A and B are shown apart, each in its own frame.
Chain A
């Protein structure tokens, strides 16, 4: 494949996402500050003030209004964007469900962060995963490059007529938002070709409709059934969009899940987000020590790529799912999803809860749990305290 030499920039995650947003040309954006997302909206404000991005910026008084205002803007035909984190995402929650239920194309970046109480500004996935039933496509980036790529892809996926769903792009707070990495970016014109102007507007004065009226029980369940089908269709569309992006960018995109040395592995980590990188380092070290380890990275959490996961994991000798979020009284959220996916197969699934509230996790922690598994010394659920 003949690919142009890419422009390379050194950007922190927040600025990489802001750059992708600028290239995606949303017409209306809403901003409200919250750590660790704040420097992204500062950068976006600069782009708009300098007219590098010609758009309306609504400087709202809360996250609830941030999502409400772009909800209104999106249904009136604008491409829209906002970003938040943690408590802000919780405060948006009502409107998150409105956007999902009404199936409005919106892109929101979530700098993942632990939820109070007690206060924590550090990273985990409790905020992001608490929105798993809100009818949003949810993707999670491993590094700054992926955060940039996924942001551009998110607009395409969200606005695809077979999907028409809001999309949430998650990336680990501080670990990615504030870490500078070398990334390759597309040319502005390439993004323009990849993202044609939006074809969506629910306000029509010649044929006025009511958006979001009360639904009878007979109708309500049909709305939800259609949303379910849109999520199923989204799987194919996401892969298609990512493949096309791969052709344009010349960078491997991996679709819904990324398999790292897992084809011939006997023991596999399942991860999502930034620590997938640490997991890959651990896999390399384990391989050097003669252990057939691999890693399966979940890139898209909703729709959940069950078929792909089943394909990769059904014959493993052991699966270790690493969770940065927990369903209290039930189990690791990702672990529960993996167990449900592997129902009927004789694959032992272990749940490791780590990194909660930003607790440091390193490759050696990954190595330790897999060694314990091999030595028959790993309990079904372990918290790395």
Chain B
């Protein structure tokens, strides 16, 4: 079965990379590459991972890495997969590994274009909910109420609902994941690997410096995001919506932890008033009512 629990497993993504303490990205990449295997090409737009991947003197990745301009990863991946197809390399998994700014903002057109063309690529958005590599500026995926350096009063707008937007492109596979639920994440990568066409995986990646929490809490916060219902784990396979892992038990509101438990561990939400927290709780509850409707279909 999974080799993740085997202590002597050789990491696919090496230690000694340039990630911040507590950053989940190296582990997320390690799991990804473990499942996808060595015939994977990573396309990485400007993001924290650009730094984590090292400089011209070497890189921690065990597979080829193609660095990409900020707005271009889905297009570059499209070209790579088409070229490999003409060369007869049909078993290579071309994977975009992009942050939320590239995915939801500057690269959104190329993402949407590749999804609409149903390119045979896996697009993974590791979402740390702001432009962290440049120092915590808001993105369209920053949640409402969160402090960033460009929203010192707390962001006023909603988080762009990217998994649903991509699903509206009628692609074969869309899923969400969390580093705290590693088997769920791994299973989704495994499923995506088997599917031809455009696959989109949205991975919540807590960021200690950006979210203002002690680096030892990364997994706790990733877990609380799921348990409070802020980050539902689901997959949409050929249009069919399905909750996965513990999120299946959260349709009943009383099984969901109050959102304050998620918010209070993070400095980025500390300026929120009781009233605002109540509003966030209401929005989560409303989202779950919508999810109920999706399941009934």
Chain A residues in contact with chain B, CB under 8 A?
27-28, 30, 55-56, 58-62, 64-66, 68-78, 80, 94-95, 98, 202-205, 208-216, 219
Contact = CB atoms under 8 A, between A and B. Distances in A.
Contact of A214 (B43, B56, B69, B113): B56
B56 A219 contact: yes
Interface string B175-208: 0000000000000000000000000000000000
* Candidate in A65, A94, A212 with the most chain B CB atoms within 10 angstroms: A65
B38 interface: yes
Contact of A68 (B53, B54, B76, B84): B76
Nearest to B64: A208
15 contacts: A61-B112, A64-B109, A65-B113, A68-B75, A72-B76, A73-B80, A75-B80, A76-B84, A78-B79, A78-B86, A80-B83, A208-B62, A209-B64, A210-B53, A213-B67
Contact of B55 (A58, A76, A202, A219): A219
Contacts of B72: 64-65, 68, 71, 94-95, 98
Interface string B37-58: 0110101000000110111110
B79 A72 contact: yes
A378 B61 CA distance: 64
B78 A58 contact: yes
B79 A64 contact: no
B270 interface: no
Contacts of A213: 50, 53-56, 59, 65, 67
Contact of A64 (B43, B66, B71, B87): B71
A74 B79 CA distance: 8
Contacts of B85: 56
A341 B176 CA distance: 60
Nearest to B38: A205
Contacts of B63: 205, 208
Given A58-B82, A214-B55, A214-B56, A69 B75 contact: yes
A95 B110 CA distance: 13
Interface in B60-103: 61-69, 71-72, 74-80, 82-87
A62 B54 CA distance: 30
A335 B51 CA distance: 43
B15 interface: no
B116 A208 contact: no
Contacts of B54: 210, 213-214
Nearest to A220: B56
A73 B83 contact: yes
B79 A61 contact: no
Q: Is the interface of B mostly helix, strand, loop or mixed?
A: mixed
Contacts of B66: 72, 75, 202-203, 210-212
B156 interface: no
Interface residues of B, number: 42
A208 B61 contact: yes
A65 B59 CA distance: 26
Nearest to B44: A210
User: Which of A58, A203, A211, A215 neighbours the largest number of chain B CB atoms within 10 Å of its CB?
Assistant: A203
Given A75-B66, A203-B64, A205-B63, A69 B38 contact: no
Contacts of A69: 75-76, 78-79, 82
Nearest to B59: A210
B109 A65 contact: yes
Contact of B71 (A30, A56, A94): A94
Contacts of A71: 72, 76, 79
B116 A61 contact: yes
Contacts of B216: none
B70 to A, nearest CB: 8
B264 interface: no
Contact of A76 (B59, B65, B83, B110): B83
B292 interface: no
B117 interface: yes
Contacts of A27: 83, 86-87
B115 to A, nearest CB: 10
A211 B64 contact: yes
A286 to B, nearest CB: 49
Contacts of A98: 69, 72
B286 to A, nearest CB: 33
**Which of A28, A62, A80 is the most central at the interface, judged by chain B CB atoms within 10 Å of its CB?**
A28
Contacts of B43: 72
Given A60-B113, A78-B82, A210-B61, A68 B55 contact: no
A214 B80 CA distance: 21
A208 B65 contact: yes
Contact of A62 (B41, B82, B109): B109
B80 A76 contact: yes
B69 A68 contact: yes
B91 to A, nearest CB: 11
Given A94-B69, A212-B66, 15 more contacts: A28-B82, A56-B86, A58-B82, A61-B113, A65-B74, A65-B113, A68-B79, A72-B75, A72-B77, A72-B80, A94-B72, A95-B72, A209-B65, A215-B55, A215-B56
A196 to B, nearest CB: 16
Nearest to A211: B66
Contacts of A28: 79, 82-83, 86
Contacts of A78: 79, 82-83, 86-87
Contacts of A55: 86
Contacts of B117: 58-59
A73 B43 CA distance: 12
Interface string B224-267: 00000000000000000000000000000000000000000000
